[in-house]
Structure 1
Amino acid sequence: MKKIILLLFIAITLSSCEKDDICADETTPQLVMEFYDVTNPTVKKNVNNLKVTGYNSDNTLMVTPLATFNGVSVIKLPLRITEDTTSYSLILNSAITTNINEDKIQFDYTRQNVYVSRACGYKTIFTLNSPNGVTRTDSNTTDGFWMQFINIQTTNIDTENEVHIKVFF
């Protein structure tokens, strides 16, 4: 009788266990930008002291920068999952306090929530608007754009395994 009760207890205990809910799948992707030399468009070019600061929904600049990238040719930027536009200020060579060259870049897109799994829930995928998915402006027109040319590689942003935007400077 004790063996039956023990086996019954073990069976109930084991049947109540569930698979661990660990999200190993990719979640909402970030936009991947890669930088190239404008004089030799096949050569990647590292950015130096690239300070990236986001804009709030009311188009005011955030107080705290998102990040400063140094010595890399690829950066990832998050897009807003609750709005159809995201804007950033990109300042190249931000360590230099004189002659700051700031370009503003705005991404316009549509969003779609996609179910991933029970552990991960939903992720948002983005599609850049065509043909105006990326707009750049310059706060100081006398210094000109440091981002001389922007090339959209793909309008679908559903993974971080590919380059979405190429920037030539």
Structure 2
Amino acid sequence: MKKILAFLMILGFASSSCEPDDICDPTTPTTPRMKIEFYNIKIPSQLKDVDNLKVIGEGMTEGVVLNPTATGNSKYLANGNTILLPLNTEADLVKYTFILNFDNDNPLLVHEDNLEFNYKRVNSYVSRACGFKTTFDLNEDEPFILSDSTPSDPLWIKRVLVEQNNISSENETIIKIYF
């Protein structure tokens, strides 16, 4: 009886010291989104807030969630000077429509421009729990294409500047948009 009790105690201690290694730590860097900042075209060093910016990716119906703490349609709208956009991990380009003043009742104040980002993908193994992550390198020759959604409406995005081509962290500004 003592042997059985000792065996059960040893088994209990041994199993209590094991930790599952199949949980991905939330602080582990995974596939980054592209950080975009908005600037004042008249004062290029000054950040400028966008008003009710909605970004819709090609093939999406609702848009990119830009405000995850909001509810309803507000989660698709940005009112600030920085956004994070996901890139496609299964293709070397992604197309977005940037709609400024999305909720405005006056259609003359709603402006749509298209931005297509071209990049190369690099997959790397993180861990058994986290799997793989993808980092991106914007193409040197043509990292983006800016076009107008409505030819009768001039571009609201006046200039796009690539700060750096390598997207490996969400903490670094990749694109600056001037308007």
TM-score, length basis structure 1? 0.88
The alignment-based identity, stated in percent, is: 40
Q: Compute the RMSD of aligned alpha carbons.
A: 1.7
Letter in 2 for 1:72: G
Deviations 1:8-51 (A, max 9, x none): 22333444433343212021111110001011111110110101
Indicate if the aligned counterparts of 1:36 and 1:73 stay in contact, CA closer than 8 A: yes
Alignment partners' CA distance in 2, 1:63 and 1:33: 22
| Structure 1: runs of 5 or more not aligned | 57-61
The number of aligned residues is 163
Letter in 2 for 1:12: L
Alignment partners' CA distance in 2, 1:104 and 1:137: 5
Alignment partners' CA distance in 2, 1:78 and 1:145: 23
Letter in 2 for 1:33: I
Which deviates more, 125-134 or 92-101?
A: 92-101
1:92 paired with 2:100, answer yes
Alignment partners' CA distance in 2, 1:118 and 1:127: 25
- Tell me how far 1:119 sits from its aligned partner: 1.4
2:116 maps to 106
Indicate if the aligned counterparts of 2:113 and 2:148 stay in contact, CA closer than 8 A: yes
1:77 paired with 2:85, answer yes
Alignment partners' CA distance in 1, 2:165 and 2:24: 26
1:59 maps to none
| More helix, by proportion | 2
Structure 1 residue matching 2:96: 3-state secondary structure: strand
Alignment partners' CA distance in 1, 2:88 and 2:151: 28
- Tell me how far 1:7 sits from its aligned partner: 3.1
Indicate if the aligned counterparts of 1:105 and 1:136 stay in contact, CA closer than 8 A: yes
Indicate if the aligned counterparts of 2:52 and 2:103 stay in contact, CA closer than 8 A: yes
Taking the TM superposition and a 5 Å limit, the aligned residue runs for 1:17-166 are 17-24=18-25, 25-56=28-59, 62-67=60-65, 68-96=76-104, 97-99=106-108, 100-166=110-176
